[in-house]
Amino acid sequence: MSVTKIAIMGVGKIARDQHIPAIAARDDFELAATVSGSGGVDGIENHDTLADLLDARPDISAIAMTMPPMPRFDAARRAIAAGRHVMLEKPPGATTSEVRQLIDMARAAGVTLHGTWHSRHADAVASVRQWLATRTITGGHILWKENVREWHPGQQWIWQPGGMGVFDTGINALSILTEILPVDLRVRTSVLSFPANRDAPIAADLVFAGPDGVTITADMDWRYADTARWEQTIKTEDGTVKLLEGGARWTLDGVKQKAEGPGEYPGVYARFAELLSRGESDVDDRPLRHVADAFLLAKHISVDPFHDDA
């Protein structure tokens, strides 16, 4: 079995909690280095900059980029130009134009580009997609609510332009929605709530339109003080499917169904390994396009200022 030496760029919570354990669990990847200006991982070679890594380690053929989306384009562009395969944490870029350019660059360079959507690998998602494939969709609703102070403490970048605010997690719901539905949707209306002291929304109310009058609504809110709710309900002519816990389990007409999946980040790396073996890329920008459309169509509402320590 060939082993791909991979580096992680951006050693934050998501890298430590998800990427590093997922890599360690596989025989076909070796975490060979990190890129972090604030310290790397114990026992793993660290470089302060991507340029240092690219110069020092030509044997590292793949880089997982787990830093915030704003600096990701320049880093991915440099890595692709150096002939390295690139994995992008969600979202794949700060703008849709950046993503399209990276796709073209990777194709021209002959390297693999994988824009990951980890929630698509949650245990129940594949089963729901299969069940819905032959059904007629009649409507649905997304409920995506959590406490931002619990799940994103002190992360100031999420409130800056390009940080996406509530869509940083809400886009996970959209990644699942675009994966499981057999029809395409478009954003019809959008209401975004912006804290008076922030540049990104803390809540979003969306209406999606599909074929034959199908409507799916979405309620996303970072001010939810109770236990997080990550749920999607899809109604069909044959019954109602509900995805719970971010796609970890599902019900059909209220009855619990069997859910068997690889787990989110094990699934991400299994897919990356598959793409590398085939010399292919996989970058689906539909969830990001939905977010961009939500901003384009948005009615802006100013709400109370947000403070991390409130």
What does residue 224 show for φ and ψ, rounded to 5 degrees? -80, 115
Please report, as a single letter, which amino acid is at residue 277. Answer: S
> Partners of 300 in the beta sheet?
192
- Catalytic pick among 5, 90, 235, 242: 90
CB atoms under 10 Å from CB of 252, counted, come to: 16
- Residues 6 or more apart from 306 whose CB is under 8 A from it? 148, 159, 195, 197, 198, 202
Please state whether the peptide bond connecting residue 68 to the residue before it is cis, i.e. omega within 30 degrees of 0.
Answer: no
The verdict on whether 256 is a catalytic residue reads no
CA dist 204 and 146 (Å) reads 13
> Partners of 38 in the beta sheet?
none
DSSP string, 44-69: S-EESSHHHHHHH-TT--EEEE-S-S
Q: Which two tokens stand for residue 85?
A: 């395969």
Terminal Cα-to-Cα distance of the chain (whole angstroms): 52
CA dist 184 and 196 (Å) reads 34
Identify the sign of the CA torsion 136, 288, 172, 83: positive
Of 92, 200, 222, the C-alpha closest to 152 is 222
On the CB side of 31, CA atoms within 13 Å amount to 25
> So which residues are the catalytic ones?
90
